[in-house]
Amino acid sequence: MAMKNRVLGRTGVSVSPLCLGAMMFGPWGNKDEADSIRIIHRALDAGINFVDTADVYSGGESERIVGKALAGRRDDVVLATKFFMPMDGGDPNQRGASRRWIIREVENSLRRLDTDYIDLYQVHRPSQDTDVEEILGALTDLVRQGKVRYIGSSSYAASQIVEAQWAARDRLLERFVTEQPPYSILVRGVEADVLPTARRHGMGILSYSPLGGGWLSGRWRKDAASAPTSAARPSARFDMASPANQRKLDIVEELAQLADESGLTLIELAIAFVINHPAVTAAIIGPRTMEQLESQLPAAEVTLTADILDRIDQLVPPGVTINPDDNSYGEAELTPEALRRAM
């Protein structure tokens, strides 16, 4: 399969419209290392040249598996990873976005990935207790040292994107060239502000969860025994008693019918919807098995017609997230002060 690559923001770097997300490689997902490596190789052979992982995925095992899989092919891949999440639950300094942690953790990621450089180094979440200039300053040093090529953000609100861009401009620091938000047919909140803001600043968008955390994979259907329950997934995102989640199941049924009428699978429709957005550079797919990867690859070649997009808009209006609990960006702004609560 030949994929028509796209330019990542204004970097000049060419990447595939599908980015292989590596969260499921390791104990969190596929515990078979050899099988995980085969999946990575199949993705590369299919034309994917963009791989995204994070230090926290399976406690570093995902990075190690990716590094092993890329042996001999490293220079052919745009390799992205992230930092911020806790790496040691008992040590508050082995997490976050302080200069101290960034400088230390990049060395850990380089070692696990078995590489001399990271193409795209991203802060995994916004930090409410670290000055953005400290973050950008540390990352700028890594770029100048040649350990990192570009830097990016993930799950930033529009105001945080702007603040970081202005800080980089005013202090002559490296700027975030990408943003990684959640985006799917069921989670369209970023269309209202995050996507246009990032686009105005020339940022590339690599969006995660194009299948809505599994809701658009066909895995969970209305009245199906396999539907998630609040007991199995103790989160408001998967509480089937929630009217919002019941509405999601209704929408999935209608989307499945639309996909069938269009000669597509639900998975192809969902991923194509994301990469058809003009602000999106690549959709991050996160297969756990070879079968899942094979079901997702064809979406790279799908172009949705205006009629199909109009039907989707009727089911989920632009800018709307059906269940607000699915929005996972701008988390740092939901502080007690922002909610007018006394400390």
Burial class (CB in 10 A: 0-12, 13-18, 19+), 263: exposed
Report which of 125, 123, 92 is spatially closest to residue 109, judged by C-alpha positions: 123
Give the end-to-end CA distance of the chain in Å, rounded to a whole number.
56
Residues 194-207, buried b or exposed e (16+ Cβ, 10 A)?
A: bbebbbebebbbbb
| Options 57, 156, 183, 208, the catalytic residue | 57
Strands (DSSP E) contained in the chain are 6-7, 14-15, 18-21, 50-52, 78-83, 118-123, 148-154, 176-180, 204-207, 282-285
121 a catalytic residue:
no
Could you tell me if 8 and 281 are in contact, meaning their C-beta atoms sit under 8 angstroms apart? yes
Structure tokens that stand for 240 in this block = 């089937």
Torsion of CA 219, 318, 181, 227, to 10 degrees: -20
Could you tell me if 18 and 282 are in contact, meaning their C-beta atoms sit under 8 angstroms apart? yes
Pairing of strands 282-285, 18-21: parallel
The CA angle 326-208-157, to the nearest 5 degrees, is: 65
* Largest interatomic CA distance in the chain: 57
Separation between Cα atoms, residue 74 and residue 32, nearest integer Å: 22
Could you tell me if 183 and 273 are in contact, meaning their C-beta atoms sit under 8 angstroms apart? no
Catalytic residues: 57
